[in-house]
Amino acid sequence: MKIGFVGAGGMAKALAGKWTGKHDVMLSGRTPDKTRVAANSIGALAGTASEAVAFADVVVLATRWEDVFEAIEAAGGSAAFDGKIVVDINNPVSIETFLTTREDNRSLTQAIADALPGAHVGKAFNMAQVAVWEDPSKTYDGRKMVTLYTADAGANEAIAELIADVGAEPLLLGGNEHAYQLEAAAAIVIKFLFAGADPQTIFNFIRPETKPVR
Ligand SMILES: NC(=O)c1ccc[n+]([C@@H]2O[C@H](COP(=O)([O-])OP(=O)(O)OC[C@H]3O[C@@H](n4cnc5c(N)ncnc54)[C@H](OP(=O)(O)O)[C@@H]3O)[C@@H](O)[C@H]2O)c1
């Protein structure tokens, strides 16, 4: 796959660093020098947001959550995303209240899908910290880490593959109508992280045994 990141910060580097061996990856941040340094450190290309989106089959939105819609505009606006798979990794969570910031009882993911009607959208990678994504093992207590995600039908397969390619096991929660649940769950994770918990112990879903999920 060709994967373009809008963002070149901690999450972009952690995820992209797992994919450069198998996929073609381009990072884009606002600051070209920082973007180049980040991209060089993991063997990715560096570009602008619009170059990264034009390059990509799969776009990962990896700015701070507050910047997502501005970044979409900087990347060329809605039309630039037509036909692309878009992965939302963002947590719209206040670090003062540790509550989600959406006021419409819907998720940021759904708002992104509404803004990008020509794209296939899903949410993944939001429930663990950079340190966990950088961890080469993804195996805890002898079992593989499970990564919950949501996706529309057009994004499902690619996101499952990308989760497997970071070394975790994909578990589909459902369509993007479930994304608010991932955002609220991340608020719990963030609250405990800020209280000093070990990032590898919070909500690390592991499969105790293989059973069909109903
Ligand atoms: N950090 C975590 O552990 C973690 C875990 C799960 C999910 N998340 C979510 O992942 C997202 C990214 O977090 P992060 O920690 O990676 O953030 P970060 O380190 O602050 O990086 C944000 C990146 O976005 C870039 N950016 C901002 N506006 C942009 C625009 N208009 N066009 C292109 N790039 C733009 C910044 O570029 P400049 O530096 O040049 O301004 C920077 O490279 C957040 O929404 C967060 O909720 C984070």
Amino acid symbol at 44: A
Q: In this structure, is residue 206 part of a structural domain?
A: no
Q: Confidence class of residue 202 from pLDDT cuts 50, 70 and 90?
A: low
- The pLDDT mean for the chain works out to 93
pLDDT of the residue at 82:
98
β-partners of residue 169 are: 146
Regarding the beta carbon of 91 and ligand 1, being less than 6 Å apart is answered: yes
State residue 210's pLDDT score: 56
Is 161 inside a domain boundary? yes
Residue 34 sits in a domain whose CATH number is 3.40.50.720
For residue 63, the CA-to-ligand 1 centroid distance in Å is 3
Cβ atoms 143, 208 nearer than 8 A: yes
Burial of 209 (0-12, 13-18, 19+ CB in 10 A): exposed
- Is the CB of 6 within 6 Å of ligand 1? yes
User: Is 208 within a domain?
Assistant: no
Ligand 1 atom 27, closest CA: 63
pLDDT at 198: 79
| Signed CA dihedral, 69, 73, 77, 82: sign only | negative
- Regarding the beta carbon of 124 and ligand 1, being less than 6 Å apart is answered no
Centre of ligand 1 from the C-alpha of residue 173, in Å: 24
Q: Are strands 120-123 and 143-151 parallel, antiparallel or unpaired?
A: antiparallel
Torsion sign (Cα): 129, 127, 158, 76: negative
**Residue 39 structural domain:** 2-201
Give the chain's end-to-end CA distance (angstroms, integer).
30
Reply yes or no on whether the pLDDT at 200 is more than 90.
no
Structure tokens at 16: 């992209």
pLDDT score at 99: 95
Is 34's C-beta closer than 6 angstroms to any atom of ligand 1? yes
pLDDT of 56-68, one tens digit each?
999 999 999 999 9
In the chain, the amino acid numbered 150 is T
Torsion 28-32-33-36 (CA) sign: positive
Q: Is residue 67 part of a domain?
A: yes
pLDDT tens-place string over residues 146-194 = 999 999 999 999 999 999 999 999 999 999 999 999 999 999 999 989 9
Number of compact structural domains in the chain: 1
Cβ 122 vs Cβ 156: under 8 Å = yes
Distance 27 CA to ligand 1 centre (A): 11
Q: What secondary structure letter does DSSP report for 93?
A: B
pLDDT (0 to 100) of residue 134: 93
Q: Is the pTM of this model over 0.75?
A: yes
- Domain presence at residue 91: yes
Nearest alpha carbon, ligand 1 atom 32:
71
The predicted-structure confidence for 31-43, as pLDDT tens digits, reads as follows: 999 999 999 999 9
Asked if the model's pLDDT at residue 212 lies above 80, the reply is: no
Is residue 38 assigned to a domain? yes
Assign 196 a pLDDT band (cuts: 50, 70, 90): confident
In the chain, pLDDT over 90 holds for what percent of residues?
Answer: 82
Show Cβ contacts of residue 152 under 8 Å, excluding neighbours closer than 6 positions: 113, 120, 121, 122, 175, 176
Please report whether residue 75 resides in a domain: yes
Q: Characterise 95 by phi-psi region: left (phi > 0), alpha (psi -120 to 50), beta (else).
A: alpha
For residue 104, what pLDDT is reported? 85
Asked if residue 158 is part of any domain, the answer here is: yes
Whether the pLDDT of residue 205 is over 80: the answer is no
In angstroms, what is the span from residue 209 Cα to ligand 1's centroid? 35
- Of the listed ranges 97-101, 103-107, 196-200, the one predicted with least confidence: 196-200
Rounded distance between C-alpha atoms, residue 191 and residue 13, angstroms: 23
Distance 89 CA to ligand 1 centre (A): 10
